């Protein structure tokens, strides 16, 4: 009786482990979203994840749409934090079937970030972002 119960519990544990492995390694979809990161915070009671918000603007004058996302990787979170306020493209993977909020508050997990040097206003109209100019160097004082 004890052996049978142990085998059943081991089989259930193996099935659960297989399910989580499949849910974490398989992506339902992947893609990129471009906009401005307006929020990034480290949240959670026990399982801490980075939760953020990207403001998407499709046309000038249109109301912005928000794309909420989760980041697991600390290096990616640091890179996203450094480019806040700049127009970026976030590469994400959508994961489905992960239970609870321990894996993050959203289904969209950011895996990379790219800073966009140009801002498209309309088809064929692109405004380049100004590059920062180096600070002038003061001449050395002579004695």
pLDDT at 127: 56
Instruction: Give backbone dihedrals phi and psi of 99, rounded to 5 degrees, phi first.
Output: -80, 150
- Tell me the three state secondary structure of residue 120: strand
Rounded to two decimals, the pTM is 0.68
The residue among 61, 53, 32 whose CA lies nearest residue 122 is 61
Task: Give the structural domain span for 43.
Answer: 27-123
Residue 128 inside a domain? The answer is no
Residue 142 inside a domain? The answer is no
pLDDT at 128: 57
pLDDT at 96: 82
CATH code of the domain covering residue 46: 2.40.50.140
pLDDT at 95: 86
pLDDT at 80: 94
Residue 70 inside a domain? The answer is yes
Residue-wise pLDDT tens for the chain (143 aa)? 888 888 888 889 988 888 878 777 777 888 999 888 999 999 888 888 999 999 887 666 777 789 999 998 999 999 999 998 888 999 999 988 777 677 788 999 999 999 987 665 555 555 555 566 666 666 666 65
Residue 135 inside a domain? The answer is no
As for how many domains the chain has, the answer is 1
* Ordered DSSP codes for 33-81: EEEEEEEEEEE-SSS-EEEEEEEE-SSTTSPPEEEEEEE--HHHHHHHH
d(CA 25, CA 31): 16
- Element of type H or E holding 10: helix 2-25
Residue 93 inside a domain? The answer is yes
């Amino acid at each position: 009786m004890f052996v049978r119960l142990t085998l059943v519990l081991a089989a259930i544990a193996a099935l659960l482990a297989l399910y989580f492995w499949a849910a974490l390694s398989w992506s339902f979809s992947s893609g990129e979203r471009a906009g401005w990161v307006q929020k990034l915070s480290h949240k959670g009671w026990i399982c801490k994840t980075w939760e953020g918000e990207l403001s998407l603007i499709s046309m000038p004058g249109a109301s912005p749409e928000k794309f909420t996302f989760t980041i697991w990787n600390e290096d990616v979170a640091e890179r996203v934090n450094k480019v806040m306020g700049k127009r970026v493209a976030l590469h994400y993977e959508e994961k489905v079937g992960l239970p609870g909020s321990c894996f993050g508050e959203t289904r969209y997990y950011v895996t990379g970030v790219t800073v966009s040097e140009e801002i498209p206003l309309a088809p064929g109209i692109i405004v380049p972002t100004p590059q920062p100019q180096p600070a002038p160097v003061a001449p050395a004082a002579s004695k």
